[in-house]
A and B are shown apart, each in its own frame.
Chain A
Amino acid sequence: MAGNEEQPNMQPEMPADQKGEAVPPPAKATKPRVKSFHCINCGAAVTIRYPGVSLSVICSGCHSVIDATDENYRILTKYFKATGQYQPLLELGSRGKLRGHLWEVIGYMVRSDVSSGYPWEEYLLFNPYYGYRWLTQDKGHWNIVTTIKRKPKRYLTSETELDGRKFKLYNTGRAQVDYVIGEFYWRVMLNTQVTMTDYLDAPQMLSMEKDDKEVIWSLSEYIEPEEVAKAFKPQTKFPRPDGVAATEPPKLKIRHNKIMMLFMIFWGIITCGQIYYSGTALNETALDYTNNFVPNTKQADITTPVFTLKKDKANVAISFNAPVDNSWFWAGGELVNDDTGVSYPFEQDAEYYYGVDDGEAWSEGSGFTKTIIPAVPAGKYYVNMDIESGSFKTTNPRAFSVTIKRNVPNWDNYVWSMIFLSILPIISWCMMRQTEVARWANSDYSPYVSSGS
């Protein structure tokens, strides 16, 4: 490249800097010049606030759409439904700071779904450095919308992916313009319909708008009505939010995920605890005692030999095994500490019945019974009991046995812990579910409504 050569001034009136180089005239600061004219259709005064960028402007008198770039301000669409029942909540021309940038409201549009008639408002926001955003409002819920240049991957019609996030199909339909005022960056075409497809991944909605010319993708994000009001300080009160917005931030889902994670942690701790306690349980037979009984009689004060119970404050499992056969056997007595005399009462029933009814065999009960006595101190013990039986067919003496086991694994604490641990997760799930069902209430593709019509 040629070196930086100093040239002598060619014309004396040109300003020169210290090096003697001619300095070009400074670029003029862009002064947004508002343009005013009279609507060629109705004569009303029309103003274009940003003629450098707006392509169409709507006459507030007759609601015709005017070509803002045409030197004669030709009409693009005449007399568009000049109804006055729509009033923007944010005043055209008002400015506010949203998400770090200053925006000016330059356009207002009301659109609706063609088949259901469901309407929503759209506010066009402008900033000469950052371009455009939209604020949409329906049923009191607000979203801030940006047009995006990147396109999502479309591999399923029910789902699409953008920036690695999956968006689920929320709605499809066609939209029409019901009302429009202000100025816009394209030539607004009325009396036309666009196809709209929305995909949801709260708090964002990915939308595709298609007409016969082009496809436009945009990303909406939930914004609190308070944030919008704080920025634009509207004169009118905003409508109260009704129901759950589709893009409502999934706070309850996030909370439920946290709770489920905690549930897994606590479940893990308690399960490890249970494995430890079950593993270190003695599960030791302290006594295996067999005796005879005469069926269909009562026998009192049967006493077992003394046995030792190790490991202080552990449980004792007393089991009976009786040869019941469509008969019953009852035992009641106490576990007695040989040294202190402290006794633990128990009572057990062994019954076993069976038969055939209308060709179907049935049975009920068992010859085994068990009672668990908790927190029995270590020491020497014996069992003292009375027994009784009935319905035996023959009364020749038979044998019954008693087994005393020390420190058997106990799952009761574990089961009850799990029950208590599940209370809050169940509540949090129910609350989340309620919000999610409401979120999808306006969708034709709700995963919570069975598709059968």
Chain B
Amino acid sequence: MQTLSCPSCGANVNFMSKASVFAVCSYCQSSLVKQGLDLEAIGKISELHDDLTPIQIGTTGVLSGDTFEVIGRLKVAYEDGFWNEWFTIGHQGLVGWLAEAQGFYALCFPVTDVAMPDKSAIQPGRKVSFGPFGYYEIEDIHEVTCMYSEGELPINAVQGRKSLSVDLTSDEGGMATIEYANQETRAYRGAYQDFDAFQFKNLRPIDGW
């Protein structure tokens, strides 16, 4: 773990993953970009109202026997609502994203070395090859905007950041995501799992529940 200090307020900012390039100071909510061993403050993340999620930074869970910990969060809004993408780190530093929406939870991991189709070729129903992992069919395509971020993240998650999020499923019930942002295309694949199967620990207490 790497600990740097926030240029705005001096508080400790921890980085558990080498992949993290961005963080939000938990004391002053400054958005910070990591440059080597320095942090540059580029703005402030405004407060999130009306948040209702049991997951928080520090929550741990299990998928296929491997434990992971939540170290960051990205809340994205799209035309018909929003969802949370929790940045996770697992054994041997493997990072992933835990997508949380309407009681559905899916954990996915980066797919490298497989070329993704061009943004213009994306259409619902089309099949995309994920190389040795087989074919995934495009289910939904959403234009998303970052509305809130916290913790550490592998992308510059400034409020207002726009990207195209593509959801895919495989015949065996697996899921995948492709994200088209400014200059980058990232792909991930993983699986949905029931809340109970994740055996979440250190959940955020929800008053009245």
Contact = CB atoms under 8 A, between A and B. Distances in A.
A24 B18 CA distance: 21
Interface stretch (B1-9, B109-117, B179-187): B1-9
A11 B10 contact: yes
Contacts of A31: 207
Nearest to A51: B50
A214 B173 contact: no
A213 B169 CA distance: 18
A30 B207 contact: yes
A102 B102 CA distance: 16
A25 B50 contact: no
B26 A24 contact: yes
A1 B1 contact: yes
Given A30-B205, A52-B52, A185 B81 contact: yes
A146 to B, nearest CB: 9
B155 interface: no
A149 B104 contact: yes
B140 A55 contact: no
Interface string A190-215: 00000000000000000000000110
A149 B209 contact: no
Interface residues of B, number: 40
Interface in A126-157: 127-132, 147, 149-151
A21 B13 CA distance: 11
A51 B52 CA distance: 8
A80 interface: no
A365 to B, nearest CB: 71
B169 A150 contact: yes
Residues of B contacting A: mostly: loop
A128 B12 contact: no
Interface residues of A, number: 40
Please indicate which of the listed interface residues B18, B80, B103, B203 has the most CB atoms of chain A within 10 Å of its own CB: B103
Contact of B169 (A1, A10, A151, A186): A151
Nearest to B175: A149
B209 A185 contact: no
B121 interface: no
Interface in B33-89: 49-54, 56-58, 80-81
Nearest to A102: B209
A129 B10 contact: no
A1 B195 contact: no
Contact of B2 (A2, A10, A149): A2
A128 B54 contact: yes
B160 interface: no
Contacts of A150: 169, 173, 192
Interface string A26-46: 010111110100000000000
Contacts of A5: 3
A4 to B, nearest CB: 6
A82 interface: no
Contact of B50 (A22, A33, A132): A33
Contacts of A102: 209
Contact of A53 (B3, B10, B52, B58): B52
B50 A52 contact: yes
A25 B10 contact: no
A131 B84 CA distance: 13
Nearest to B192: A149
A153 B91 CA distance: 35
A131 B105 CA distance: 10
Contact of A4 (B1, B103, B173, B205): B1
A22 B5 CA distance: 11
A368 interface: no
A132 to B, nearest CB: 6
Given A1-B2, A14-B11, A51-B50, A187 B58 contact: no
A132 B102 CA distance: 7
B119 interface: no
B80 A187 contact: yes
A127 B103 contact: yes
Interface in A210-229: 213-214
Contact of B12 (A22, A29, A30, A213): A22
A50 B206 CA distance: 12
Interface string B87-128: 000000100000000111010000000000000000000000
A440 to B, nearest CB: 30
Contacts of B50: 33, 35, 51-52
Contacts of B2: 1-2
Contacts of B195: 129-131
Contact of A10 (B10, B57, B104, B140): B10
A21 B206 CA distance: 28
B208 interface: yes
Contacts of A51: 49-50, 52
A10 B5 CA distance: 9
B161 interface: no
B201 interface: no
A438 B106 CA distance: 41
B169 A21 contact: no
28 contacts: A1-B2, A1-B18, A2-B1, A5-B3, A11-B9, A11-B10, A21-B12, A24-B27, A27-B56, A27-B57, A27-B58, A29-B204, A30-B51, A30-B53, A31-B207, A32-B52, A52-B51, A55-B80, A55-B81, A132-B102, A132-B103, A149-B104, A150-B169, A150-B173, A151-B169, A185-B102, A186-B80, A214-B140
The 3 closest A-B pairs by CB, nearest first: A131-B103, A52-B52, A10-B10
Interface of B: 1-3, 5, 9-12, 18, 26-27, 49-54, 56-58, 80-81, 93, 102-104, 106, 140, 169, 173, 175, 192, 195, 203-209
Given A127-B103, A129-B206, A129-B209, 12 more contacts: A1-B18, A4-B1, A7-B5, A10-B10, A24-B26, A30-B205, A30-B206, A31-B207, A128-B53, A128-B206, A129-B195, A131-B103
